Amino acid sequence: MAVKFDTVIVRLGGEIGIKSEWTRKSYESLILKNIKKALTFHNIDFKEFLHYPGRIYIKTEMPIKASEKLAKVFGISSISPAIETTSNLEDIEQKSLELAKEKLNENAKFAVRCRRVGAHTYTSMDVCRKVGQILLDKLAERKLKVDLENPDVEIQIEVREDKAYIYSEALIGPGGFPLGAQPKLVCLLSGGIDSPVACWLVMKRGAPITPIYFDNYPFTDETTLKRAMKVAEKLAEWAIGHSMKLYIVPHGSNLIEIKEKCPERLTCILCKRMMYRIAQEIAHKEKAEGIVTGESIGEQASQTLWNLKVLNEAARQYPVYRPLIGFDKVETEKIAKRIGTYEISIQKAKGCEAVPKKPATKASLKMVLEAEKALDIETMVRRSVRNAKILDVAKKRT
């Protein structure tokens, strides 16, 4: 019969542990809330929560599913489905044997590890030796080998006061701080590879997001919009229990005006400056504290340091955060794959046709301000904000 896990061990991010007592407690209680919301959302019932500094033990009938879902809760560093038993050494031996029978194949190299909190009649080392010997004896026909340096399988035992937990696997969580530990940020979300990663990185540090997609139709089409919506839905899976609105801002008319009235080489910079200005208005409306973009140095013509400086000048009321500023593309792609947005971002979508053949890589503020004299910026911003559609992404998540 398969071993029956009945508990999930949740380990909290190491950085939370070094916070002041007050901050640590408030972060941990926020993680607890987020965990309960995630479990409830996924219809996973849970009976008991034991909370210690840095660790939470959850009793549940669905520990495997719970572990998978909790791997998307910020502030958690790892999760293990475990078997709970008493701190009685015979019970520990018996449950360890049950787990080992399932996990150790013939010729497997294994290690028994033990950590202990509380007063017991044995040491951690006693537990490791005793359990290790029992596994070798009782499973002798499997020709197991102890290998403390490089085991195939680790049988892990955590003894805590009058209880003990046995497990062998750990799922990696995202780490970081609980969502909600920081105020909201608005994020420029194009749906390409970069901006979803930028969104996720600020969420990882505790900031809920309000993504904004600028719809450049007729220079893009439905495929680009749909991709952005799907990406937003994917990001919402990392924010269970938190609302997530997606702003869809009609931006094509702004682009048409820019193309008609301004030097072609400046199109992308002027377009982006409009995005920043509109994002500021939405940030104000949403009570957000800053703007996030997926820009990194030199990744596109509009992202040279000269051009980023000119972009910043368009957003004087809010800081612009660029979590990817020093990332190479491969580094960004690695995170995109890990968080599930990469596959969506590489789906075929129409690229913006307003991009000029020779975009300016070294714009100056003087040059840009001169070009913008031809535009009625205030009216354009107001019109865009007024006509923005707001989608409740949280409603669509699964």
Residues near Mg ion (CB under 5 A) are 194, 299
Would you count residue 188 as binding ligand ATP (CB under 6 A)? yes
Using CB under 6 A as the binding rule, whether residue 304 contacts ligand ATP is answered as no
Q: Please identify, among the stretches 90-98, 139-147, 293-301, 387-395, the one whose residues bind ligand ATP according to the rule CB under 6 A.
A: 293-301
Query: What minimum distance in Å lies between the beta carbon of 192 and ligand ATP?
Result: 2
Query: Rounded to whole angstroms, how far apart are CA atoms 126 and 252?
Result: 71
Residue from 303, 307, 341, 384 binding ligand ATP (CB under 6 A): 303
Distance CA 198, CA 196 (A): 5
Q: Which does 28 bind (CB under 5 to 8 A by kind): Mg ion, ligand ATP, none?
A: none
Residue 42: DSSP 8-state: T
Which residue shows structure tokens 């941990």? Answer: 28
- By CB under 6 A, tell whether 248 contacts ligand ATP: no
Segment lying near ligand ATP (by CB under 6 A), choices 71-79, 86-94, 98-106, 213-221: 213-221
Q: Which of 189, 202, 270, 308 binds ligand ATP (CB under 6 A)?
A: 189
First vs last C-alpha separation in the chain? 32
State how far the Cα of 212 lies from the Cα of 251, in Å rounded to an integer. 11
Residue 390 CB partners (closer than 8 Å, separation 6+)? 245, 246, 247, 248
User: 194 or 257: whose CB is closer to Mg ion?
Assistant: 194
Options 213, 276, 321, 342; binder of ligand ATP; rule CB under 6 A: 213
Q: CA nearest 289: which of 386, 214, 195, 206?
A: 206
214 touches, from ligand ATP, Mg ion, none (C-beta below 5 to 8 Å by class): ligand ATP
Nearer to ligand ATP, 124 or 304 (CB): 304
Among 194, 257, 281, 372, binds ligand ATP (CB under 6 A): 194
Which pair of tokens denotes residue 40? 């409830």
CB 292 within 8 A of CB 202: yes
DSSP string, 297-364: TTSSGGGSHHHHHHHHTT--SS-EE-TTTT--HHHHHHHHHHHT-HHHHTS--PPPTT--SS--SS--
Of 126, 154, 289, 299, the one binding ligand ATP by CB under 6 A = 299
Closer CB to ligand ATP, 167 or 247, in the complex:
247
For residue 172, what are its two tokens? Answer: 């990696």
Q: In angstroms, rounded to a whole number, what is the distance separating the alpha carbons of residues 385 and 377?
A: 12
Q: Does 67 interact with ligand ATP (rule: CB under 6 A)?
A: no
Choosing among ligand ATP, Mg ion, none, which partner's interface includes residue 174 (Cβ < 5 to 8 Å by kind)? Answer: none
Per DSSP, what are the bridge partners of residue 81?
8
Contact region for ligand ATP (CB under 6 A) — 54-62, 136-144, 210-218, 383-391?
210-218
Query: Whole-number minimum distance, CB 246 to ligand ATP, in Å?
Result: 10
210: contact with ligand ATP by CB under 6 A: no
The tally of CA atoms less than 13 A away on the side-chain side of residue 347 is 16
Contacting positions for ligand ATP (CB under 6 A): 188-190, 192-195, 212-214, 216, 293-295, 299-300, 302-303
